[in-house]
Amino acid sequence: MNSETQQTYIRRRQNRFRTAPIDGQALKYLIYAGLSWLRTNQETVNALNVYPVPDGDTGINMVLTMQAAYDEIADSPEQNFGNMINAVAHGALMGARGNSGVILSQIWRGLARGLDGIEVLDGPNLVNAFSEARDTAYQGVVRPVEGTILTVAKDIARAAEATLVDTEDPIAILEGVVKEADESVERTPDLLDVLKKAGVVDAGGKGLFYILEGMIRYINGQPLDTPLATVQPLSRMSLEDAIGTIEPGQDYEIVVDFRPHDIFDLRKFYSGLEEIGTSIQVGEGEGLYRMHIHVEKDRRYEPIDYTMSLGTITKVYIENLIEQMEEIERQARGSAVNLSPVEPGQIAAITVSPGPGISRVFASLGVAGIVEGGQTMNPSTEDILNAFEGLPTDKVIVLPNNKNIIMAAKNSAELTVKQVAVIPTRSIPQGLAAMFRLLPRGDFDEVVAEMNTALEEVDTGEITTAIRSVEVDGVKVKEGETIALLNGKLVSSAQSLEEACISLIEKTDTSQYELLTLFYGADVSKPEANHIVDIIRAAHPLLEVELQDGGQPHYQFIISFE
């Protein structure tokens, strides 16, 4: 499309929204635009993490929630605006992931309430809808916290009302809302001290801003696609995620660490890589770049040669993806999880698990269903609902095992006629402790009460790698160091995995515990895990220490203190 043709297209698009009625089909374009711009800025939202732990998934959760909302209407011929936005709200509800996704779905639910039955959008109705969205979002949170996406929802509702004084044009009102959303996000650190200390704005609020801004950008004919060259911190590159599905032509995975020459054109580098392969990622940290790409077998050395022409290579990694996927499948076949059968009238427990080893432990304790998920992979409301909806019982207990999954679990409970109780487990140790209280043939209310009580009888330790440098909770952290958390609070940062584990235990009152269970993650070998357990046993001979293969990503150890 040449420049003149593009400008004509942009003017037509602008005229469509500024002169023609905004109906259900127009809304479809706006939803897609909001989703596209949010996806473009997904990594920016992910990076707005208070703690330097690898759970920066707000951008991912909001994108997946919006994707579910768009999928609900993608093929719909509906012209009625109210009917279409109700479908959007339903899709967002079922696809909601993480706390940010659940609150976003509540915002869409409120907008749908305010616009129910509306044939075409007008200014007064839009203003009313933003007010409904604010109220619905606040009502959906037990203890609302200011300085979050809730505050942004409140501020944009106020801005919409203020704009209505001067105009009833819905596009002008939306422009005023976007401006206020941007400013509201920038004010969030002034309202929430933890954001100010971490030097970030609220991630959920930022995601909401991008959605709304994407709509205005589309109306104004501005681009929504991902910039050609994007760089993320080395510590945030998730090469495991890129392996997930092997497409034709992705026979080998190549990773090259290099230091570029003085003149380095990142955009040109990306263009060159696109001629070679797919699944391209580039990370940067302290002058060192990491290039990741998938290529055909016969081209596996081309990205290495190309990178060598642009800088000094320090490390090369080559992996046969086909063989790797076959090995993963072989391991999966050999580690099947046997779930407990459920009879009518019995209590069934559903749990969220981040790793195959942890899933096997839950299965041994009698769970009837397992939902894969955890940090950076929060399951949706629909995922959790599907895990228990088909069971032959109307008594269900759900263990989310992650603070960012609790809201989605509660959403699922509201979408069924079954009696469902969500135990607010925030960690794997809490979930396991609760499972020890499960009595399938017991009284439902009594079992729920017992499982809730069990949460107070266990503490949770976590060992992971810092994704950025920061000072939080009085602990100075450098990117790449191994950090320790106790019940979600950062307690130490160390140079080695061994040092981090020892420092975590030293931060606890070991006299109150009898048993330590360490679940080692996918990135820790069994000999390395055994070595650390031996050190802990030698230092604390009165403690019983057990080691379990957890298989969880991102966290080298999850530790249960009982």
- Residue 470, strand partner residues: 477
Q: Which of 82-96, 202-216, 308-322, 432-446 shows the lowest mean pLDDT across its residues?
A: 308-322
Instruction: Give the tokens for residue 22.
Output: 């905004």
Rounded to the nearest 5°, which phi and psi values hold at 509?
-90, 90
In a domain, 226, yes or no: no
Identify whether the C-beta of residue 500 lies closer than 8 Å to the C-beta of residue 559: no
Q: Is pLDDT above 90 for 254?
A: no
H or E element, residue 312: strand 311-320
Residue 287 in domain: yes
Q: Which of 288, 308, 329 is the last residue of a domain?
A: 329
pLDDT-based confidence at 5, cuts 50/70/90? Answer: low
Residues 386 and 468 in one domain: no
Task: Output the domain CATH number for residue 548.
Answer: 3.30.1180
Assess whether 533 and 437 both reside in one domain.
no
Which CATH number fits the domain that encloses residue 272?
Answer: 3.30.70.1150
For position 172, what pLDDT does the model report?
Answer: 92
Q: Which residues contact 184 (CB under 8 A, 6 or more apart)?
A: 151, 152, 155, 156, 205, 209
Say if residue 556 is in the same domain as residue 408.
no
Most confident of 265-269, 284-288, 513-517: 513-517
Do residues 70 and 123 share a domain? yes
Q: Which of 145-154, 183-192, 222-231, 277-286 has the lowest mean pLDDT?
A: 222-231
The residue ranking higher by pLDDT, 543 or 397, is 397
Q: Residue 12: what pLDDT?
A: 57
Upper half-sphere CA count for residue 413 (Cβ side, 13 Å): 19
pLDDT in tens, 545-561: 999 999 988 899 999 99
Instruction: Say what the pLDDT of residue 18 is.
Output: 67
Model pLDDT, residue 316: 84
**What predicted TM-score, i.e. pTM, was given to this entire model?**
0.74
> Domain limits at 550?
460-561
Q: Do 197 and 265 belong to one domain?
A: no
Do 163 and 117 lie in a common domain?
A: yes
Place of tokens 């081209």: 299
Task: Report the number of distinct structural domains present in the chain.
Answer: 4
* pLDDT, mean of residues 77-93: 94
Spatial separation of the C-alpha atoms in residues 107 and 211, rounded to whole Å: 12
Q: Does residue 225 belong to any structural domain of this protein?
A: no
Last residue of a domain, one of 416, 437, 457: 457
Would you say residue 524 lies in a domain?
A: yes
Confidence of residue 242 (pLDDT cuts 50, 70, 90): very low
Could you tell me if residue 227 is inside a domain?
no
Give the residue from 349, 369, 377 showing the smallest Cα distance to 433: 349
CA distances in angstroms from 190 to 144, 199, 471, 502, listed in the order given: 16, 11, 18, 36
Structure tokens of 26?
């127009």
Beta carbons of 31 and 73 less than 8 angstroms apart:
yes
The reply to whether 45 and 29 lie within a common domain is yes
d(CA 96, CA 98) in angstroms, rounded, equals 7
20: tokens are 């023609």
- H/E stretch holding 331: helix 321-334
447 and 482 within one domain: no
- The backbone torsions φ and ψ at residue 374, rounded to the nearest 5 degrees and listed phi first, read 165, -145
Q: Is it the case that residue 29 has pLDDT exceeding 60?
A: yes
At residue 268, the pLDDT reads: 84
Residue 555, in any domain of the structure: yes
3-state secondary structure of 356: helix
pLDDT of amino acid 80: 96
pLDDT of residue 239: 44
**Above 50 in pLDDT, residue 36?**
yes
Q: Which of residues 304, 329, 354 is at a domain's end?
A: 329
- The alpha helices in 167-295, defined as continuous H runs, are 170-191, 193-198, 203-219, 239-243, 266-274
Quick one: average pLDDT of 208-228?
Answer: 83
Q: Give the domain CATH number at 361.
A: 3.40.50.510
> Do 7 and 113 fall within a single domain?
yes
Q: What are the strands, taking DSSP E only, across 419-562?
A: 419-422, 459-465, 470-472, 475-477, 482-486, 489-494, 515-520, 544-549, 555-561
**Does the pLDDT of residue 236 top 60, yes or no?**
no
In a shared domain, residues 120 and 174? yes
- Same structural domain, 207 and 65: yes
Helix axes 428-435, 356-364, angle to 10 degrees: 20
Gap between the Cα atoms of 380 and 387, Å rounded: 11
Query: What pLDDT, on the 0 to 100 scale, is given for residue 212?
Result: 96
CATH of the domain at 39: 1.25.40.340
Classify residue 344: in a domain, yes or no: yes
| Residue pointed to by tokens 């990503």 | 553
Q: Judge whether 541 lies within some domain.
A: yes
pLDDT of amino acid 229: 45
Examine the domain organization and report whether 424 and 499 are in the same domain.
Answer: no
**In this predicted structure, what is the pLDDT of residue 244?**
41
Which residues share a beta bridge with 350? 369, 398
